[in-house]
Amino acid sequence: MIIKPQEGPQEQFLSSQADICIYGGAAGGGKTYALLLEPLRHVKNSGFGCVIFRKNANQIFAEGGLWDTSYSIYPHVGGVPKMTPTPTWNFPSGMKVSFGHIDQEKDVLKWQGSQIAMIAFDELTHFTEQQFWYMMSRNRSSSGIAGYIRATCNPDADSWVASFISWWWDENTGYPIPERSGVIRYFIRRDGEIKWASSEKELCEKYGLTTAEDKAQIKSATFVASKLTDNKILMDNDPSYLANLKALTLVDQERLLYGNWKIRPAAGLFFQRSQIPDDGWLDEIPADVSIWVRAWDLAATAESEGGEPAYTAGVLIGKRRSNGRYVIADVTNKRLAADAARQHIKATAIMDKQRKGSSMKIRLPQDPGQAGKAQAADFVKFLTGFNVSIELESGSKETRAEPFAAQWQHGNVEIVKGEWNESYLNQLESFPEGKFKDMVDASSSGFNELTKSNITSLPPITGSLGRQSYWKR
């Protein structure tokens, strides 16, 4: 078996001589595979050690992630896995590749005193700037190989990484500049500020670096841009992956498909009323809806501390059998005190059940902590006789909205005409910059409940499940 990088950015990344090389851009560019290949250049060096970091331990062992991918490479060059005390591959020469995680800021202290020849970060934008620079201080070894850093990432306009590599991408478009990909630049970091130059000589002249101690601080860095089409193996093995990326929201398409480092959520990038199909404006509620969900976003008080109104929003959303589209049939959005909100939710539940039957589902959010659990239990008791789902909401409102927004942008959402249409659409189009997000959050919650309810049929078992089975990825 021959193990080698693919031609193009992957090969460019693995041949870089920079102290810091960041391989980033679109999803599916072969970044993780390349990161795992990098330490094999030193597979015969007994003193060489590498640690590859993810933000948390679960990400290391995620399906198809670092650990899974390492199994497709390292056994072919004599690697033997060991899980304790840390996940590690040991090679015949004594060379080691370990996997670690740095979740909290204080976790870097676990590596105090370490000497690591190669430090690697998978998804660098998940780490803080402080974590990165601290770990760089551990980047040394007695193996004869000067310490160096390799990293992969997808674009994130709000990450410190976007600023660090800003020379390599166009500030007007956000897209990587092709002719700068892989070009090495030089820098020093003083008092948290990075000073750049195109060569060591220029850096020394520009910032008065004259002593050996000054010059020892100089580091080199580069950025190698990748895109899905660079990974010909993935494109051949899984042609549908491109379609999966094109099904994302506009923001995520720009980031994960086109490698845009400037794009960020803004009003109009999640929802536009023009994205409702021409035949998606319905005069009445359709009769072919297979399942209905009324999802709520709750306001804790009638008014916020600043005296601004707070709303309780309930969105009725269903999935149609005839065309597979989602339909928003009714939206209620009222400023109510806590007890009045409870009564309103129950009255709406009674009305929905009368019109939609006993299969009608109600979804309510649960706040984190014990108080949230108590409130959820109270609601379940209060709504006895109804099909109630309580869900712990996690992640930002933007993250929760992305699955629903993707369907909206692809013309898969219909609207029943009603007096609530204008206020509903105004809030969606202003998301996430608008002041109020309650109707958006309720819509996202309802959609997520519908998709959770979908049942996927498993393939029939016609024999043993081997490497060439239905399940092979």
For residue 332, give the CATH number of its domain: 3.30.420.280
The phi and psi torsions of 227 (rounded to 5 degrees) equal -145, 165
Residue 57 resides in a domain: yes
**pLDDT above 70 (res 362):** yes
Q: Compute the average pLDDT of residues 399-417.
A: 93
285 and 425 in one domain? yes
pLDDT value at position 465? Answer: 27
**pLDDT above 90 (res 299):** no
pLDDT value at position 308? Answer: 55
Neighbours of 54 (CB within 10 A): 24
Q: Are 82 and 88 in contact (CB under 8 A)?
A: yes
290 and 233 in one domain? no
Q: Are 411 and 402 in contact (CB under 8 A)?
A: no
Greatest distance between any 2 Cα atoms in the chain: 83
User: 212: domain CATH number?
Assistant: 3.40.50.300
Dihedral of alpha carbons 29, 35, 40, 41, sign: positive
202 and 102 in one domain? yes
Residue 464 resides in a domain: no
351 and 291 in one domain? yes
Residue 178 resides in a domain: yes
209 and 144 in one domain? yes
- Looking at per-residue confidence, does 221 or 143 come out higher? 221
- Give residue-wise pLDDT tens across range 234-245: 556 667 766 766
pLDDT value at position 303? Answer: 53
Whole-angstrom Cα distance, residue 162 to residue 383? 48
pLDDT value at position 457? Answer: 32
Q: Compute the average pLDDT of residues 223-241.
A: 72
Helix, coil or strand: residue 3: coil
Residues 6+ apart with CB under 8 A from 355: none
The whole-chain average pLDDT of the chain stands at: 86
Could you give the angle at the alpha carbon of 124 between the alpha carbons of 122 and 127, nearest 5°? 115
Whole-angstrom Cα distance, residue 6 to residue 138? 31
Residue 263 resides in a domain: no
**pLDDT above 90 (res 344):** yes
pLDDT value at position 223? Answer: 97
3-state secondary structure 322-333: CCCCEEEEEEEE
Which ranges constitute the DSSP H helices of 143-249?
160-164, 200-207, 212-216, 232-237, 240-246
Q: How confident is the model at residue 28 (pLDDT cuts 50, 70, 90)?
A: low
Helix 397-409, helix 438-453: angle, nearest 10: 70
Length of the chain: 473
pLDDT value at position 178? Answer: 92
**pLDDT above 80 (res 101):** yes
Whole-angstrom Cα distance, residue 418 to residue 283? 9
Q: Domain total for the chain? A: 2
280 and 233 in one domain? no
439 and 313 in one domain? yes
3-state secondary structure 343-396: HHHHHHHHHHHHHHCCCCEEEEEECCCHHHHHHHHHHHHHCCCCEEEEEECCCC
- Give residue-wise pLDDT tens across range 315-327: 999 999 999 999 9
Whole-angstrom Cα distance, residue 220 to residue 198? 10
Whole-angstrom Cα distance, residue 435 to residue 276? 23
312 and 186 in one domain? no
Residue 468 resides in a domain: no
- Looking at per-residue confidence, does 268 or 23 come out higher? 23
Angstrom CA distances, 353 to 115, 290, 298, 350, 359, stand at: 65, 14, 20, 5, 8
296 and 206 in one domain? no
280 and 199 in one domain? no
pLDDT value at position 234? Answer: 58
80 and 119 in one domain? yes
* Single-letter residue type at 392: L
pLDDT value at position 433? Answer: 80
Residue 3 resides in a domain: no
Q: How confident is the model at residue 99 (pLDDT cuts 50, 70, 90)?
A: very high
Residue range(s) defining the domain that contains residue 352: 273-453
Q: How confident is the model at residue 469 (pLDDT cuts 50, 70, 90)?
A: very low
Residue where the block lists tokens 């895109």: 227
- Looking at per-residue confidence, does 3 or 178 come out higher? 178
302 and 175 in one domain? no
Lowest-confidence pick of 189-203, 224-238, 262-276, 386-400: 224-238
Whole-angstrom Cα distance, residue 89 to residue 73? 11
Helix (H) or strand (E) holding 100: strand 96-101
Residue closest to 50 by CA, chosen among 33, 62, 37: 37
- Give residue-wise pLDDT tens across range 413-467: 999 999 999 989 989 988 888 888 899 999 999 999 998 855 333 333 333 222 2
pLDDT value at position 373? Answer: 82
How is residue 458 annotated by DSSP? P
Residue 194 resides in a domain: yes
Residue closest to 37 by CA, chosen among 81, 5, 59: 5
pLDDT value at position 7? Answer: 81
Residue where the block lists tokens 């009323």: 273
- Looking at per-residue confidence, does 346 or 255 come out higher? 346
Residue 258 resides in a domain: no
Q: Compute the average pLDDT of residues 110-118.
A: 93
Q: Compute the average pLDDT of residues 145-163.
A: 93
